[in-house]
Amino acid sequence: MRNALADIGFVFTFWRRTALPANTRRPASDYLQERKDQVYENLRDLKLEYRAGKYPEEDYATQRAILENEARC
């Protein structure tokens, strides 16, 4: 009984992976676009939190420069 349960679990685990289409890789441009969108969203959030008084001026300027530099790349 134990072996049958282990076998079922093993087959189910690997069956799900093989059920995926062979070509599941996304183009690099999709990844870069998602990353760019995330950086801009982080910049908006940083600006809102700064306006709410959660960040001092120096920390805001530093974080903003880091995110803007990352957005340019």
Give the length of the chain.
Answer: 73
pLDDT of residue 26: 80
pLDDT in tens, 9-67: 666 666 655 555 666 788 888 888 999 899 999 999 999 999 999 989 999 999 999 99
Handedness of CA 7, 13, 16, 19 (dihedral sign): negative
Measure the CA–CA gap between 67 and 38, rounded to whole angstroms: 10
Domain ranges of the chain: 2-72
Q: What is each CA distance from 24 to 18, 19, 20, 27, 34, in whole angstroms? A: 11, 11, 8, 10, 17
The predicted model scores a pTM of: 0.60
